[in-house]
Amino acid sequence: MSYAGCIRTAAMVPNLTNNASSIAEIATGVVPASAHYVLWLSSGCSLIEGALTAAGYSAPVPATAAAYDFVADLEATYGAARAEMARASPRSAMGERGRGETLMRQFQDGLKMLMAMDLTRMGVTQTGKLYAGGISLSDKDTVASDTDRVTPRFERGMFDGDLAETSAS
């Protein structure tokens, strides 16, 4: 699933699309071709959804979510970065940043920003389940009955009145 679509990406790189209103309208013989843009958008989508899934969110982001437009812009930025890098100028000086590298940095920064947000407040469902261990009595009994478990040095109530007095005498 692509979030950005052709129009959003074409608007970012009008110099490479010969001012076509969408990627589908790119003239034949223009490099990169429309098929390249579709592949790059798919790759950008995979990177975004992989990061979302790794962070415990459901993918794809629903079109009704507040985060949708941000994700679409992020994907379009990735596609534009790849397009600009495909047409890099050979006259770049050493250490000089091209437009493709700048757009790729914007994509990476945007992905970090997206992962730092609480996306549940923006309409994205969280699928990850946190586990702290020992939540239920059966979990605690399972851990306590483990024969390979190291005996804890401290126990609950260890320094309470009666126990403290008997251990001191």
Element (H, E) at 82: helix 68-86
Which two tokens mark 133?
């261990």
The answer to which of 41-45, 127-131, 150-154, 157-161 has the lowest mean pLDDT is 127-131
Contact between residue 22 and residue 7 where contact means Cβ atoms under 8 Å apart? yes
Per-residue model confidence (pLDDT) at position 88: 63
Whole-model pTM: value is 0.68
pLDDT at residue 6 tops 90: no
Task: Specify the pLDDT at position 38.
Answer: 79
State the sign of the Cα–Cα–Cα–Cα dihedral 24, 29, 30, 35: positive
pLDDT, residue 4, reads 75
Contact assessment for residue 70 and residue 117, using Cβ atoms and an 8 Å cutoff: no
